[in-house]
Structure 1
Amino acid sequence: MFSSCADPSSLNGLNWLLCYLTTGKQIDFYWSFLTVLTLLAVTAPVALAFGFGGAMMSRSQHLPLRIIGKTYTAMVRGVPDIVFFLFFVIALDQGIEYFFHVVRCPDWTEPVRNGLEFRVCPQAKVPLNSSAQIWHSLYGFALAVVTFALVFGAFASNVLYGAMQAVPRAQLETAEAYGMNHGQVFRRVLVPQMWVYALPGLSNLWMILIKATPLLFLLGVQDIVYWARELGGAKTSVYAYPHPDWRLYYFLGLLVFYLCMTKISEVVLTRIQARLSHGQATASGEAQRKAAA
């Protein structure tokens, strides 16, 4: 990065360390923290949307929707995350390419599947082989978001379904007695009331989502764990900056990062819980009333 770092063999001490910490690979390592934070920021609301949709279908009065909602929740929750990640990403990627293959290459005569090989025409590749690297990275990141959202959306669906069931039936019947229709009761009474019951479960899911981000490596995304392993490992003479095995120090840094993320999350979630519990007929709300008295 600096002109003084052009010849690593002439460096020593702090100068060597400064140049080492500013190499292109180290910059990629620093950017990977932003990748993880972006994944969390994007996946959380998308997973919540999947969960809300699954919970609504599970409570639907229509049998087909109810079957779809309950099947989605049970199927995803019943499959180990690592297996789902490895299978779903490949299936989704091949499904997208097969769709474009049918649309863009109708005259293609060769079989798409030849044993274990999956072949589509060059025009059906997503992204195209000629596309810039940024599009390949964004496509891989989008697949990761969808995969994480589907998995954690199934757990969120189960949490939100239980929270909806926990809202006292008497409150819903009172709203109906005042002339509200089913949709108004759902929007004005059920949904606002359910969050106080759902937040503990959603808080746990958020913590699990934070801990699951190293699975990005399985989806082809170069995350912080990938770079910590690569940069911390002992280098050979082919590298410009050989060093002993420093993986312990890199992973200690990741430990601090994840602990800070967890602590910040706990503080924020506790405040949200207190805000939602204010005035509610729950143990937390009763504790607030006693403290105010």
Structure 2
Amino acid sequence: MFSYCSDPDLLSGLRWLSCYLTTGKHMSFYLSFGTVLLLLAITAPAALAFGFGGAMMARARFAPLSWIGKAYIAVVRGVPDIAFFLFFVIALDQAIEWLRHKVKCPDWDQPVRQGNDFVVCQEAKMPLGEAAQWVHETYGFGLAVLTFAIVFGAFAANVIYGAMRAVPRAQIETAEAYGMTHRQAFWRILVPQMWVYALPGLSNLWMVLIKATPLLFLLGVEDIVYWARELGGSKTARFTAYPHGDWRMWYFLALLVFYLCFTRVSEVVLERLMKRLTHGQATAGGEAQRRANA
């Protein structure tokens, strides 16, 4: 990046460090922080949508729909995250390719399963072999987002389901007695008050989601953990223009600081949001605010 970086062998001290920290790989490392933030920005509302849908299904009056919602919550929450991530991504990828294979290659006369190999025609590959690198990265990132949303959506569904049950039933009955339909009472009475009870659990889930972002590394996405390991490992002059020892401790220390700062900012924002939601509510938090303002 700097003009004096043309010959790293002549550099030392801060000049060497400034050139080392501005190499192309380090730029990819810095951009990977954006990948993590983008994952959180997309996954959080997606998981919340899965959670809200799962909770609505779990409390549905139609029994089969309720069974599906409760099964989704129980099964996904009962499987270890790593096992689900590794299984679901592979299974979903193969399912997409199998469906494309059936449509694009109807004359294929060989079995798709050949021992331990999963073989489909080239036209059915996702993404295609000649596709640009960004297409492969976007596809992998999309699978990761969907997997995160399904996993954390199950936990969110359990939290929201409990929050819906925490709203006093008498308020729903009163709303219906005043002429509201069941749907109107749900959206105008239950849902607005439900968030007060759900936010503590959703706040904890948000913190867990932040800590789970290194799982991107297991899904083949070049995230901050991937680059910290790659850049921090021992490098010799044979493999890089900036040889160094094992610096992984310093790279992972930087990740530690990043996550601690990010979680602290999240705590402050969530605390303010909780105060806003509990204002005027007949809850312990709302009562504490009334006493403080008295």
CA shift, 1:3, in A, is 4.4
Task: State whether structure 2 residue 278 is matched by structure 1 residue 288.
Answer: no
Task: Indicate the residue corresponding to 1:193 in structure 2.
Answer: 193
Unmatched tracts of structure 2, length 5 or more? none
CA shift, 1:280, in A, is 0.6
Task: Indicate the residue corresponding to 1:228 in structure 2.
Answer: 228
Q: Which amino acid aligns with 2:249?
A: L
Q: Which amino acid aligns with 1:268?
A: V
Task: Indicate the residue corresponding to 1:86 in structure 2.
Answer: 86
CA shift, 1:136, in A, is 0.5
- The residue correspondences of 1:49-198 to structure 2 (distance < 5 A) are 49-198=49-198
Give distance in 2, aligned partners of 1:42 and 1:83. Answer: 22
- Deviation per CA, 1:210-234, whole angstroms, max 9, x where unpaired? 0000000011101111111110111
Give distance in 2, aligned partners of 1:47 and 1:150. Answer: 6
Task: Indicate the residue corresponding to 1:239 in structure 2.
Answer: 240
Cα RMSD, aligned residues only: 0.8
Task: Indicate the residue corresponding to 1:269 in structure 2.
Answer: 270
Q: Scaled by the length of structure 1, what TM-score is found?
A: 0.98
CA shift, 1:289, in A, is 0.5
Aligned residues: 293
Identity %: 72
Unmatched tracts of structure 1, length 5 or more? none
- Deviation per CA, 1:66-116, whole angstroms, max 9, x where unpaired? 111000000000000000000000000000111111111111111111011
TM superposition outliers: structure 1 runs of 4+ over 6 Å = none
- Deviation per CA, 1:206-261, whole angstroms, max 9, x where unpaired? 00000000000011101111111110111122222110111111111111100111
Q: Matched residue of 1:230: which SS? A: helix
Moved more, 19-28 or 239-248: 239-248
Give distance in 2, aligned partners of 1:116 and 1:7. Answer: 49
- Deviation per CA, 1:123-158, whole angstroms, max 9, x where unpaired? 111111111100101000000000000000000000
CA shift, 1:2, in A, is 3.6
Q: Which amino acid aligns with 2:271?
A: T
CA shift, 1:10, in A, is 2.0
Give distance in 1, aligned partners of 2:242 and 2:118. Answer: 40
